[in-house]
Amino acid sequence: MAITIALAGNPNCGKTTLFNQLTGSNGYVGNWPGVTVEKLEAPWRKNKDVVITDLPGIYSLSPYSPEEVVSRDHLVKDRPSAVIDLVDVTNLERNLYLTTQVLECGLPTVVGLNMCDLLEKSGDQLDVDALSSELGCPVVKGSALRSQGLDQLMGTAESLATTGRTGRAPRVFSPRVEKAIQETADVLKPHLSAGQPERWFAIKAFEGDEKALDTLGLPAASLAAIGTIRAGVEAELDDDAESIITTERYDWIEGVMRRCVVKAPKALTTSEKIDRVVTNRILGLPIFVCVMVLVYYLAVSTVGTWGTDWANDGLFGDGWFLSPAAAQSYEEAQGAYDDEDYGTVVDEYLAAADAAGVDTDGVAEAIESGDAARVQAFAEAASAAGVTVPDAPLHDADGNFLDSEGNVVLTDAEDDPLLSDGQTLAYHDTIDAEAFLAAANAEEPIPGEYGVYVPGVPVVVEGWLDDAGASELVKSLVLDGIVGGVGSILGFVPQMIVLFLLLCFLEDCGYMSRVAFVMDRAFRRFGLSGKSFIPLLVSSGCGVPGIMATKTIENDRDRRMTVMLTTMIPCGAKTPIIALLMGVLIGGTEGWWIAPFFYFLGLAAVIVSAIMLKKTKPFAGEPAPFVMELPAYHLPALKSYLLHVWERVWAFIRKAGTIIFVACVGVWFLSNFGVAGWDSGSGAFGFLPEMADAPENYMNWSMLAGVGNAIAWIFAPLGFGTWQAAACSLSALIAKENLVSTFGVLFGLGEVGEGSALLWATFAQMFTVGGTLSLGAMLAFVAFNMLDAPCFAAIGTIRRQMADTKWFWAAIAYQCGFGWVVGLIINQLWELFALGNFGFWTVVAILCLAGIIIQLFRPMPRATEKPARQEA
């Protein structure tokens, strides 16, 4: 039969770190309460027959929070073979309060003194043998973070579990209280079954713990007898029983501290000196803002972007050179080739020749295959026919004009070009047969001729498909659907790595626990406590554990509100969406503010929503109190730190390989299959690109276009009423990263390696009208997808946490509605002040903004209690 060893202790005492060290697991480690909400189990690495259970961090065994209930039930009902009570030796006095209660459970127990390395640095001295004698159980020194003393600790626990030796719980109460506890135990004894801890139940019964008494099912006579014992002591000591027990525990602990601990002369520690600045009432919030701006600047604007550009351009693009010098030489040659615009010269001369009646059949294929005789024959025939192309504005194959910088001006070639102020069109020289031959014979630079070149994933996959003789249907599915969709997400992994390296360092070193303390002071003014900030902090990695972290909030109102609001904080999955917008604006340095803007937009949305909701009847009331410790600043252990980072990054990658993969295939199918036969009226259903009469913009007739068009009107006031933008927003409900992959599939970015600039430029086209980029529509698009309902996984977690269908749908409706209103306000105010447009939706946006402001500043409603009935 397996030996079970429970790890008990206060929040932030190092239990999960110890659990990870002993089992090889990678449980989440944080510097705040509620990190472990449910118990975790895993076998000991050195003996698989020993199962270790990591219990939630608690301060006592009173059933006042979900964590306390979980830990208490495991110790009292499940009865593990032994208990390791882990104690933060730097906060010994507070930690021993729980230790006294654990010892009263009557289980074989060993006390593990953690963070002894920090105790030595502080200069304090602890007599371990004296402490062991006081507690009546073995005490072992060590450090979970440094892997010190772990073998001795587990060896002692395993020995106790095997022998079943429990020792004697210390008598911590005064003789009068001890007598009352013994009298209570005598009353309970006939009602206790084998294995139930007599002393623990006696103390809880004396305190009047109703939940403990309910488990025993005591008859009325026994309850009355216990009540008489309790009343006598309360009258004699002039206090209630629970307070008496609490006070005498701390009195006993104070005596233990005097007998076992020698304190060093008090002086400000390094952590205390730093806290005087970072937790300062005035400087705390500005410092936090600066830190988060720097984090997102490094992750999304600089270091992370360098990695993402390489991934998009190289790994998931055409490929990359191993030598920087070779890459530069190739770029120069490619730039010279592109500047000549040979493709446009050939296309326009062929079009002019065709219009003049010259046979152009097979010429394009001859140019591609290198059939010089066929190309020469065509040029001679065209020259004889006097074919020339006069000076004309340059445009691409889709009929879009190009400006003087080579950028696309979105307008049909048959219409007058729509250019904003300061733009000029690019013109080519007169094209004749000689210019045509020069363009046709020009050879594009081959990367392999300039140095060692590694082809990208799309190039390799396309080569495999060509060698296998794959059909256009299969090539489109693999290149556009899978490689283009999933690759557009995986290209952002470097940014994710940098972001999580920075965020996890801030968490593990102890700074983020200070932020929770600072934000508690701010949140309390808005109707939330610091306990609500912890889920928000966790949600910066992923919304699912953030929502689960709300279990630690005892107040139902605060918990439901936090569940509704926590996913408004940008998680790792939303970072690629922000990066899309940054890519459009980052031409110089003007886009650096985008990432921190949306982080603080999410934080502002939480605060604004909290204020508004607190002024409604379902959420009115005082916020729950928040108590937490501030751990000393320290450099995180490399192993646990890297595991912490890897856990978050791997979750991002795993989702790309599962949910995103399936979604990409689905989006590809919906966007490439539909009803063709528009010219013939046959209404045939099939793969649109292969339909004989399919137009170039065949996706407009796809099934996805039908769905997108059906809901596009909802987003039209927000400035992105196209079916493509609507389809991207809809797919983001499956997974937020899916927005980018859907975008990649819709615009055929299977070879995004033409440069991440292609990704940015194509994204900008969705918000460009008449050559003008609508920043308002783009910001509204990103804001809506930041603040609306989260991904399916988080939505499912919201449903489980709410445990109520009505509240679940209310949460989803509020998230989507609030996101839509914020997007409306952003777009309409941009159109009003930047473009001078005013209309019906401008009025609606102003009214919505006014309503939010009124709700924010109206007085908090008083409690609506019915007056007592007056008797005549």
Q: What single letter denotes the amino acid at residue 465? A: L
Per-residue pLDDT at 1: 59
Tens digit of each residue's pLDDT (9 = 90 or more) over 797-815 = 788 778 788 888 988 899 8
Mean pLDDT of 560-581: 75
Mean pLDDT of 137-153: 85
Least confident range of 77-86, 409-418, 685-694: 409-418
Map out the domains of the chain as residue ranges.
3-163, 175-262, 330-391+429-449
Beta strand pairing call for 3-9 and 47-54: parallel
How high is the mean pLDDT of the chain? 77
Tens digit of each residue's pLDDT (9 = 90 or more) over 780-795 = 888 888 888 887 777 8
Helix residue spans in 61-197 (DSSP H): 66-73, 92-103, 116-122, 128-135, 150-163, 175-188
Percent of the chain surpassing pLDDT 70: 75
Structure tokens belonging to residue 163: 């022998």
Position of tokens 């400000």? Answer: 268
Q: Euclidean distance between the first and final Cα of the chain, in Å? A: 72
Cα–Cα distance measured from residue 199 to residue 211, given in angstroms and rounded to the nearest whole number: 16
* Contact criterion met (CB below 8 Å) for 128 and 113: yes
**pLDDT bucket at 820, cuts 50 / 70 / 90:** very high
Mean pLDDT of 142-146: 80
Helices H / strands E in the chain, number of each: 39, 18
Cα–Cα distance measured from residue 561 to residue 761, given in angstroms and rounded to the nearest whole number: 39
Topology (CATH level 3) of domain 175-262 = Helix Hairpins (1.10.287)
Burial of 296 (0-12, 13-18, 19+ CB in 10 A): buried
Burial of 297 (0-12, 13-18, 19+ CB in 10 A): middle
Mean pLDDT of 487-513: 78
H/E element, 343: helix 342-355
Least confident range of 31-40, 208-217, 537-546: 31-40
* Contact criterion met (CB below 8 Å) for 773 and 764: yes
Bridge partners of 427?
Answer: 393
Q: Which CATH class is domain 3-163?
A: alpha beta
* Contact criterion met (CB below 8 Å) for 526 and 614: yes
- Domains 3-163 and 175-262 alike in fold: no
Per-residue pLDDT at 821: 92
* Contact criterion met (CB below 8 Å) for 688 and 674: yes
Cα–Cα distance measured from residue 202 to residue 213, given in angstroms and rounded to the nearest whole number: 10
Q: For the chain, give the number of residues.
A: 872
Q: What single letter denotes the amino acid at residue 315? A: L
DSSP class of residue 143?
B
Tens digit of each residue's pLDDT (9 = 90 or more) over 224-241 = 888 888 888 888 888 888
Cα–Cα distance measured from residue 759 to residue 744, given in angstroms and rounded to the nearest whole number: 8
Position of tokens 């004396």? Answer: 206
Cα–Cα distance measured from residue 348 to residue 222, given in angstroms and rounded to the nearest whole number: 101
Helix residue spans in 238-283 (DSSP H): 241-260, 270-278
Tens digit of each residue's pLDDT (9 = 90 or more) over 715-726 = 888 888 778 788
Beta strand pairing call for 319-321 and 453-455: antiparallel
Cα–Cα distance measured from residue 275 to residue 740, given in angstroms and rounded to the nearest whole number: 41
Residue 343 has pLDDT above 60, yes or no: yes
**pLDDT bucket at 421, cuts 50 / 70 / 90:** very low
